[in-house]
Amino acid sequence: MNMELSRRRFMVGASAGLAGTTLGALGFGELEQAYAIAIRPFKLTNTTETRNTCTYCAVGCGIIMYSHGDLKKGEKSEIFHIEGDADHPTNRGTLCPKGAALLDMVHAETRLKYPMVRKPGSDKFERVSWEVALDRIARLMKDDRDKNFIAKNSDGVTVNRWLSTGFLAASATTNETAWATYKVVRSAGMLAFDNQARV
């Protein structure tokens, strides 16, 4: 991809040079300078490239996120451009309209970034730490499973079912995460198991 961009920049520069030189030969030296200044710098220069997977569906298209700011230097990172990863075997650089609009999702004011809880009787959600959220989820799951677990059906056959809780996982995870999630959910006895891609 860098080769492609370099070629594009080269072509822009060469065209500008040709036009400028021609103008210069005709006595338009200032015009030549103004023309060179007017060439827009490539917006992805000096940025951090981070490879990732589109979050929306199970196609799992590869993306490259471009950001300013070096986290290693304690700077705040700001993603300002996202495009398809031309080296990714799934999408070869293409994105559907949803994937092409990922930048809007990243910066959406309504985007959920941390655990929230709405306490009984409250009309609003409040932010809680991951520690609190995970402890609470584990406690509620354990209590519910203890109360509703079905070890055997009415014919006495072992079924080990937990039907009162479901699990919504993510489709855009790694194979390893998906494998671990599946094992945890199924070994707990849950049957209601899905993700946003409905696969």
Could you list the residues that contact ligand SF4 (CB under 6 A)?
54, 56-57, 59-61, 91, 95-96, 98-99
* Cβ-based neighbours of 195, under 8 Å, separated by 6 or more: 58, 168, 169, 170, 171
Q: Report helix, strand or coil for 63.
A: strand
Residue 16 or 96 with smaller CB distance to ligand SF4:
96
Task: Using CB positions, name the residue nearest to ligand SF4.
Answer: 99
Least spacing, CB of residue 91 vs ligand SF4, in Å = 6
Least spacing, CB of residue 62 vs ligand SF4, in Å = 9
Residue 20 or 62 with smaller CB distance to ligand SF4:
62
Residue 57 or 106 with smaller CB distance to ligand SF4:
57
Residue 59 or 128 with smaller CB distance to ligand SF4:
59
Q: Is 99 left (phi over 0), alpha (psi -120 to 50) or beta?
A: alpha
The span from the CA of 91 to the CA of 98, in Å, is 14
Q: Report helix, strand or coil for 48.
A: strand
